[in-house]
Structure 1
Amino acid sequence: MTTDSSLAAPTSSTRPDSTRLLGAAAALFTVILWAAGLVATRFGVTGSLTLWDVVFLRLLLPAVILLPVLLRHPPRAEGRKGWPLLLAVLVAGAGLPFMLVGSGGMVFAPAAHAGALMPGSMPLFAALLAVLLLGERFTSSRRLGIALMLMGAMAVGGWQVLHDAGDTWRGDLMFVAAGAMWACYTIAMKKSGLGVWQAAGVVYVVSCLAYTPVYLLALESRLLVAPLFEVGVQLAQSVGSGLLSMAAYGFAVRRLGAASAAAFGALTPALTALLAIPLLGEWPELVTWAGIAAVSLGVALANGAFVRYAPPNR
């Protein structure tokens, strides 16, 4: 859900205000879709549908929409080493395993925890993997951002462990694991050289083909007896947070630069918590709000939100 600040371009001084306003609007729309997707997933797994139904509905429409794209533009190895492993990491990091872990966490923990821990742990693990695998270095701003994300994650998740809040800690651990999986997807995406829609096609189509037979033959389903509204919410969020957010984020990156667009991801934890109050009736505790604030600031710092770019020399 975030991207690497090293991809940033010095756009703030060279692009017209109207272009940047459109980019900012697209970035804000993206994080609203992300937050709404987390709330919708929590709504799904705590309602009439089973976890297995929610995962199936999240995969179905994007797979159908992206199948023609994948057939027309299939991924090609082009001499890359470890190509099958790379594709497997893409699917595991953003496809079926990621959805099972992230959505499964919603069974145990509220949406506000998902909003803080998943976006907070994604750039943390992505930064660590970038150092280990790509040889990147931390800036001082990024180091401070990572420290704040760690503090925020401990405030949100560690508090639950200390105060014995039932099985909430299980969901928190699953959110962190999902963040780590998405970080692996981010690194694999960078190394694969695939386009955004190519990668999405691989993730959704392969995941749907692998999951559908198991879902139909072996897993508990309440899809046929669940209210149509609940089914519709899951189908809508599968396209909204899955596909529309990709398009909106890509537009934002082109207008703002990667770092500025990614910095908007810092709004995701707070937006998720705020949406969960009226839609789910989940009120975060004070310590959770503190953790959300720390994670949000950490994500912003890690993605270069406060870095000013000088205009290029003429």
Structure 2
Amino acid sequence: MSDLACPAPRARRRPALIGWLAALATVTIWAVWAVATRHAVTHDLPPAALGLVRFGVPALLLIPISWRIGLFPKGLGIVKGLGLLGSGAPFFLVVALGMQFAPAAEIGPLLPGTMPLFVALIGWLAFGERLGRIRVAGFALILIGVLCIGGHGLLYAGNGAWRGHLLLLTGACLWGIYTHAYRGSGLSALQAAALIGLWSFLILLPFGAPSLVRALGDGLAGPVIVQAVLQGFLSGVAGIILYGMAVDRLGASRAAAVSPLAIVLAAVLAVPVLGEIPDMAALVGITLATLGVVLASGVFGPPAKG
């Protein structure tokens, strides 16, 4: 009997290792996506056209899966369906518009940095999940960090950054809703990516197609192709699948434990790509938010049950 029980810990560790690797790959994609999106919406493409590229690629690549599950998968329900689709076109448009105002170094703390906060708050309010003292302290640090980052924009509305901050926080809330909706949807990561991609493409088609055609006519085919790879394949297919794998194997909170890496990577990439160097207040906010996310994720607490 004991011989049969010995392999169990290793069997449990393997899915966890896969989950952590998937989470690490996800935040790397998030960081590249954040910088690429800000560059695109401030230089080449309007948000609707960029969103059409973002969701057109996964809608095309995953159409066999969409065909099998249909536009309205059985047993999904309207509430969970809307929660899933909120991470598609609505999330992208809100975040892309916010990126037109907020510097790239501030996108990380305000978007992936606050996602665990919204995941935990929704879990607490909607599902009665308990929060330990360490996690509560982490959420407090996240809020202080966000205030350090966004305080200047909130006090001095003339620079417009406060609008970007509010929009990015709205996007983080939409992603928190998606995380819980995905966990209860019964869909695989691939099925969720296919469903989100197809619906978002259909929603954005009448708004993004004219501006995308104009961009191609203006000689921007090169940037469009680059964004199709970064936005469509990496973020639209690989990112959603990897995040789903991480949530499936680690749970929502632990999957968010590595999100501070997206904060650091986005800030580092923004220096050579966009020439944006964070000021001292933003650096303090990034540091506090990073520490807060680590504590709030529950990585130092006991393993989550269920």
- Output the TM-score relative to the length of structure 2: 0.85
Q: Find the residue that maps to 1:292 and give its secondary structure.
A: helix
In 1, Cα distance between equivalents of 2:135 and 2:20: 22
Q: Does 1:267 align with 2:261?
A: yes
Which residue identity is paired with 1:244?
A
In 2, Cα distance between equivalents of 1:189 and 1:242: 16
**In the alignment, is the contact (CA less than 8 A) between 1:110 and 1:282 conserved in 2?**
yes
Q: Find the residue that maps to 2:217 and give its secondary structure.
A: coil
Residues 83-104 of structure 1: per-residue CA shift (max 9 Å, x gap): 123212321x201111110001
In 1, Cα distance between equivalents of 2:101 and 2:246: 34
**In the alignment, is the contact (CA less than 8 A) between 1:102 and 1:175 conserved in 2?**
yes
In 1, Cα distance between equivalents of 2:38 and 2:25: 20
Q: Find the residue that maps to 1:192 and give its secondary structure.
A: coil
Number of the residue aligned with 1:54: 50
Matches within 5 A, 1:140-179: 140-164=133-157, 166-179=159-172
Which residue identity is paired with 2:224?
V
Alpha-carbon RMSD across the aligned residues, in angstroms, is: 2.8
User: Percent of aligned pairs with the same residue?
Assistant: 39
User: Number of matched residues?
Assistant: 294
Q: Find the residue that maps to 2:298 and give its secondary structure.
A: coil
- Output the TM-score relative to the length of structure 1: 0.83
**In the alignment, is the contact (CA less than 8 A) between 1:48 and 1:226 conserved in 2?**
no
Matches within 5 A, 1:76-95: 76-78=73-75, 83-91=77-85, 93-95=86-88
In 1, Cα distance between equivalents of 2:151 and 2:261: 22
Which residue identity is paired with 1:107?
Q
Which piece of structure 1 moves more, 162-171 or 177-186? 162-171
Query: Which of 222, 233, 239 is matched with 1:245 structurally?
Result: 239
Which segments of 5 or more consecutive residues in structure 1 lack a partner in the other structure? 1-12, 310-314
Query: Which of 90, 95, 98 is matched with 1:105 structurally?
Result: 98
CA displacement at 1:257 relative to structure 2: 7.0
Number of the residue aligned with 1:301: 295
**In the alignment, is the contact (CA less than 8 A) between 1:50 and 1:222 conserved in 2?**
no
**In the alignment, is the contact (CA less than 8 A) between 1:49 and 1:223 conserved in 2?**
no
**In the alignment, is the contact (CA less than 8 A) between 1:117 and 1:153 conserved in 2?**
yes
Matches within 5 A, 1:145-294: 145-164=138-157, 166-216=159-209, 221-238=214-231, 239-249=233-243, 260-294=254-288
Q: Find the residue that maps to 1:120 and give its secondary structure.
A: coil
**In the alignment, is the contact (CA less than 8 A) between 1:107 and 1:171 conserved in 2?**
yes
